[in-house]
Amino acid sequence: MNTLIKNALVIPMKNDGEFFYGDILIKNGKIAEVGEKIDFPADETIDAEGAIALPAFINAHTHLAMILMRNYKDDKENLQEWLSEIFPIEDKLEADDIFKASRAGVAELIKGGCTTFADMYFSAEETEKAVMEAGINASLGLTIFGDGEETERRYLERLPKMKKNAESYGRITFTIAPHAIYTTEKDSYKKSKEYAEKEGFVVHTHLSETKKEVDDSLAENGKSPLTYLKEIGALSRNNMILAHGVHLTDEELEVVKEYGLSVINNPSSNMKLTSGALNVEKLIEMGINVALGTDGASSNNNLNMLEEMHVAALSASLRGGKPIKAYDILKMATINGAKALSLESRLGTIESGKDADIILISTKGLNMNPLNNPFSAIVYSASSEDITTVFSNGVKVLDDRKITYADESEIIKDVNAAWSAVTRR
């Protein structure tokens, strides 16, 4: 199946300020050609006049199945109080609950222009099924809690199952995902690094999300969280993502830069749980790769990457520092996310040879006019309702605002039934 997108305002996300009016040719799931005028007898031609074409978004940190706890136990004073309410309900979850919640999460991501996400949650094989049904990409975590013995058990028992389920699909990668230093012991972090290096996986962990986490680490370990991980030999060079990182010190940021680690900004969750705000402008100035995540839909409370970009831009300005350019915010949601997940050879920009993960954003609505600056329009003006079409690997997974692979009303019905079942247990 070949598709020709014509007359779009194309934002390749390769250079600051670069855009042009032109065409994109998709062949066999790949971007075959990008240019001002392409003549090709495609199977389908889409006239994208009045639309922006850009790379599909990458949500670099979430807990997809936590969509079940959306709007549940909100207004808690901090992360720790919130977790004390969330962990007990998570103990009641069963595999089918996670599958139904993951289906809902995948559909919400797609309707928000996102075709790739990094997940950290239980029963990842259930999330795999939802990913494969929709035809999108995922970086799924083997989530680690507890001591080294438990970590080894999970690695030996769960990872083979995750790999087997996804091996024929080709668009699921994996991470080793130790949850956090307050739930995961030293030996588990060391084993996580060992397993990640053996498998060629990224390590995905929460770090320095709250001041309490830092204070507790100083009291218990005599060191801040990142320094603690460095000294126990748990930092994985050029292959590790740190979710949140709100309270990283200047000295720690030098280590982040030295080790080539990525930091995932989750501004909505950070603000909702009173964790603080990441000093994104400083990280960008230092050359640290900063990507964007929504966190789970229980602590956000949505999976909307356009909204997350808007919040990221505004929260940076609220700090009273230098505003972040709209292009740099868009980088966080596209190519920087791809780099964080080691997927930059396939995703994150519109250029020949990459996977055809492309979204079309209508500029015809009142909220998008006058357009003036297309980068600013996306970050500050656009809503998910403006996203009309989403391609994943060259296949339309959203067409005229409707998901193409399943019945959305059925997905909604099922996720509500799953939550009702959980609350009765």
Write the DSSP assignment of 408-420 as a string of letters: HHHHHHHHHHHHH
Question: Which pLDDT score, from 0 to 100, does residue 85 have?
Answer: 87
pLDDT band at 30; cut points 50, 70, 90? very high
Residue 94 in 3-state DSSP? coil
pTM attached to this predicted model: 0.97
Residue 405 in 3-state DSSP? coil
CA distances from 152 to 139, 195, 259 (A): 20, 9, 26
The pLDDT of 325-335, averaged and rounded, is 98
**What are the pLDDT digits (tens) for 179-238?**
999 999 999 999 999 999 999 999 999 999 999 999 999 999 999 999 999 999 999 999
The token pair that represents 13 in the structure block: 């996300």
Question: Which pLDDT score, from 0 to 100, does residue 79 have?
Answer: 84
Q: Under a CB-based contact definition with an 8 Å cutoff, are residues 48 and 8 in contact?
A: yes
Other CB atoms within a 10 A radius of the CB of residue 186 amount to: 16
Closest CA to 240 of 131, 366, 139, 91: 139
Question: Which pLDDT score, from 0 to 100, does residue 96 have?
Answer: 96
**What are the pLDDT digits (tens) for 52-98?**
999 999 999 999 999 999 998 888 788 888 888 888 889 999 999 99
Residue type, 237: R
pLDDT band at 323; cut points 50, 70, 90? confident
In this predicted structure, the answer to whether residue 329 has a pLDDT above a threshold of 90 is yes
In degrees to the nearest 10, what's the CA dihedral of 47, 51, 54, 56? -90
pLDDT band at 317; cut points 50, 70, 90? confident
Q: How many helices (H) and strands (E) are present in the chain, helices listed first?
A: 15, 17
Rounded distance, CA 303 to CA 381, Å?
18
Residue percentage of the chain with pLDDT more than 70: 100
Question: Which pLDDT score, from 0 to 100, does residue 392 have?
Answer: 98
In this predicted structure, the answer to whether residue 320 has a pLDDT above a threshold of 80 is no
